[in-house]
Amino acid sequence: MIALKHVPTQIEARLLPVVVDLLFKHGYAGLNIREVSKVTGMGPATIYKYFGSKEKLTLRVLQDLDHQVAEAILPGIPGSEPQYDRWKAFYRSLLSYYDEYPVVAVIQNISMPTSTWFLPQDRWPVVEVAEVIRALISEGRACGELDPLVSDNQILATHYMHLVREVRLWHFRGMSWRLIDRLEIFFAIIWKTISTPGAAK
């Protein structure tokens, strides 16, 4: 996880919602510290003092959003159901959350440059949802329902590849449907890719 100086709560409370709004509207390329400064009334020097760069500021936003998503989706995953049902519940919770908070869906999957996904692990900002997936992987391995020929990293890559594609398709077609309505098609592809042939459905 990225390491930042201690940032006072009141500073983050003023900054992060503004950055979220600007990232949603303009994307990473269009985000400008001067505009953040203007909207928040906080001098650029203060922003750079705590975050050092635009990149670190936006990665901090991603961290915060990742935490919110993880907290929201965990209660929706049943504790003792078959793996198929637990994985499907994970995606049902995630897509439902995105439908409720489309700003989060856009920022996490569209606004940030592709290079964000290839940062070194110590700077990777989205660890909490990944840990939920890793826990599902571990449980799936233990009961033999995940294909042993598909590595953990390949499962994570499959998740992100299909999720980003789904959100981008939805966004660029005007967000004219609910993401949750694509669950059956979306999840069927993922489960077929990661599960042991003949695993329970």
Residue 73 CB partners (closer than 8 Å, separation 6+): 90, 93, 94, 97, 129, 132
pLDDT in tens, 10-35: 889 999 999 999 999 999 999 999 99
Instruction: Give Cα 23 to chain centroid, integer Å.
Output: 14
Give the CA angle between residues 66, 172, 104 to the nearest 5°.
15
How does DSSP assign 117-178, residue by residue? GGS-GGG---HHHHHHHHHHHHHHHHTT-B-TTS-HHHHHHHHHHHHHHHHHHHHHTTT-S-
In this prediction the pTM is: 0.90
Integer Cα distance of 201 and 198 in angstroms: 9
* Domain ranges across the chain: 9-194
DSSP class of residue 41? T
pLDDT tens digit string along 152-186? 999 999 999 999 999 999 999 999 999 999 999 99
- Does the domain made of 9-194 have the CATH classification 1.10.357.10? yes
pLDDT category of residue 1 using cuts at 50, 70 and 90: very low
pLDDT in tens, 87-119: 999 999 999 999 999 999 999 999 987 776 666
